[in-house]
Structures are given as structure tokens and as C-alpha cells.
Amino acid sequence: MKTPAAIATLRDTKRLWVIPAVHGMVHRLHSVADAIAARLEPGDALVFLGNLIGGAVGGETSDVAPTLDLALALRRRTLALPGARACDVVFLRGAQEEMWTKLEQLHYAQGPREVLRWMLQRGLGATIAAYGGDAAIGDGERAVRDGPMAIARWTTQLRQALRARPGHAQWLAAIRRAALSEDGRLIAVHQGLDTTKPLDLQGDAFWWGGSTPFEAIDAPYDGIERFIRGFDRNHPGVHDQPHTLTLDAGCGFGGPLLGALLDSHGRVLDVVEG
């Protein structure tokens, strides 16, 4: 299988660590990152399954920038292992990362006020506040009232603030749509996958969910036999089925953050919790 450029390739590895949606819960990520760092072995790979940033509406208080700093620190720790390569750590695009990226195009929207409100209702406010301060959301609401030029100035300020944090702009530029094992038998995604479409035509299905319910995937797809995801609106914890594995215990919604150690076939070897 030829892997689309927007999908990361995980080289052959015996062990894969995966971290589901964090939603800016830095204190929970601390516990999981410490547990993983203490058990890292040469050849291990690490995938963050999206929604590293953002906040959960009605959930705990997010602290996005330190969360990203901590994730980057764990990346450095993983890449310091003997024989490690840059491709051994992958950050996936979740709904939060997608909204943050689309925010830069807000001045082109026909209804920017409605679009901004829609994003805020889905937790983007925590990321806006991380790079614009406590007044950032109010600044955005005034900008959408004042028109495209004001919106462009506001989003430019947010972008500049992100670039001022070491590694954050590079992280944003490096996020991938999904991660596929080198043998093509395992794929990691944020929320879903549409089995009626090829990988290069998935579009938003990876982070918003496809027409195929994830838990209903009961057969291989294009050679892929194991499907891993890191966000489920129902937050079932560890939901392990013959072909699919969901990891989401509701971090940011009052639940813990999980981290899972998988073997080369995507089978769960262990789960850590923070």
C-alpha cells in the first residue's frame, strides 16, 4: 500500500505507546508521561491520538501551552533512546487541532460570528486563551463584529503568540492525519475512519468521524486489520474488540487520562492512568 503523504508511517516496532485525547489536562498528562518515560525501551514508538490541545466544555480547567510543552518533552525523551528516529513519535490531528488551524481562515467565513461561536462551544476557547490571554475570546468577539481586517489582525496575534513558544509552531506544522504501520496492518486515528473510501479521501472522517461507526468495523479494510482511536464521545475507557481499540476514559470531562502500551499487532500489553 502506498501511504498518502498526510499519513505518518510507523516503522516496524515491537512496542507502541499511544496517548488519547488530553484536552489540555496537563496534570493528568504529567502522570501518564512519567509512567511512560520510566518504561521506555529502545525501539519504542509513541503516538498522540489528537485533541492534545483545546478544552472540554463543562469539564475541568485546561492549561494548553504547558500541556504541549510536556508532550514535546516526552517526544524528546523518546527520541533520545538509542536508534530512535524522528518518525518514531507522531502527533495526530484531532478536532481541536483542526479547529485551531481553521481559525486562521476565519476572516474568509461568510458568517464568522457563528463559526467562532460554534468553535467556542466545542472547546476551542482554551487554546485561544493559551495564546491570547484571558481577554482573547472577548477580543475575538469584537473582531468578528468589526469585520475581516479586524479578524485577520486578531488571528495574526494568536499565531505570533504560538510561534513565540519554543516548538509549538513546529508541532502544528508536523501533525498528521493518521499513523499507519509499516506493514500496513495497523492504523491509529483520532476519532474515526470511513471504510467506504480510500485512505487518501478520508477528509474530516479521521477527526469528526466517518459514516462507518468505529465500533462497527468488523473486518479488515484495505489490508488494515487493527484500528486504534483516541476519542469517543461516550468515553468508554478501554474498549477492545477484535479489529478496533478505543482509548478514552473522558479526560477533560471528569475522567482520567489513559496511556496504552501495544504490541506490533495493536494488542494491549498494559494501560497506565493519570
DSSP-derived secondary structure for 191-260: S---TTS-GGG-TTHHHH--SS-GGG--S-BTTB-EEEES--TT--EEEE-SSEEEEE--BTTTB--EEE
> Once rounded to an integer, what is the mean pLDDT over residues 167-182?
96
> Once rounded to an integer, what is the mean pLDDT over residues 179-188?
96
Using one digit for the tens of pLDDT, what is the confidence trace for 109-143?
A: 999 999 999 999 999 999 999 999 888 999 999 99
How far is CA 241 from each of CA 17, 131, 235, 255, rounded to the nearest angstrom? Answer: 18, 39, 15, 22
Residue 195 has pLDDT above 80, yes or no: yes
Whole-angstrom distance, CA of residue 235 vs CA of residue 231: 7
* Averaged pLDDT of the chain: 94
Strand, helix or coil for residue 103? helix
Whole-angstrom distance, CA of residue 64 vs CA of residue 57: 14
How far is CA 88 from each of CA 14, 16, 43, 75, 194, rounded to the nearest angstrom? Answer: 12, 9, 8, 9, 26
Using one digit for the tens of pLDDT, what is the confidence trace for 13-28?
A: 889 999 999 999 999 9
Q: Which residue has the cell 486515528?
A: 189
DSSP string covering 170-198: HHHHH-BSEEEETTSSEEEESS---TTS-
Helices 64-79/125-132 angle, 10° precision: 90
Grid coordinates standing for 70? 510536556
How far is CA 155 from each of CA 114, 120, 137, rounded to the nearest angstrom? Answer: 16, 15, 11
**Domains, the chain:** 7-93+175-273 (3.60.21.10), 99-163 (no CATH)
Q: What are the beta bridge partners of residue 221?
A: 224
Residue 3 has pLDDT above 70, yes or no: no
Residue 4 has pLDDT above 60, yes or no: yes
Whole-angstrom distance, CA of residue 99 vs CA of residue 175: 13
Identify the pLDDT of residue 210: 83
Using one digit for the tens of pLDDT, what is the confidence trace for 75-89?
A: 999 999 999 999 999
DSSP string covering 109-165: -SSHHHHHHHHHHTTTHHHHHHHH-TTHHHHHHHHHHH-HHHHHHHHHHHHHHHHTS
Question: Dmax of the chain from CA atoms?
Answer: 55
Using one digit for the tens of pLDDT, what is the confidence trace for 201-221?
A: 998 999 999 888 999 999 999
**Against a cut of 0.75, is the pTM above it?**
yes
Whole-angstrom distance, CA of residue 233 vs CA of residue 250: 8
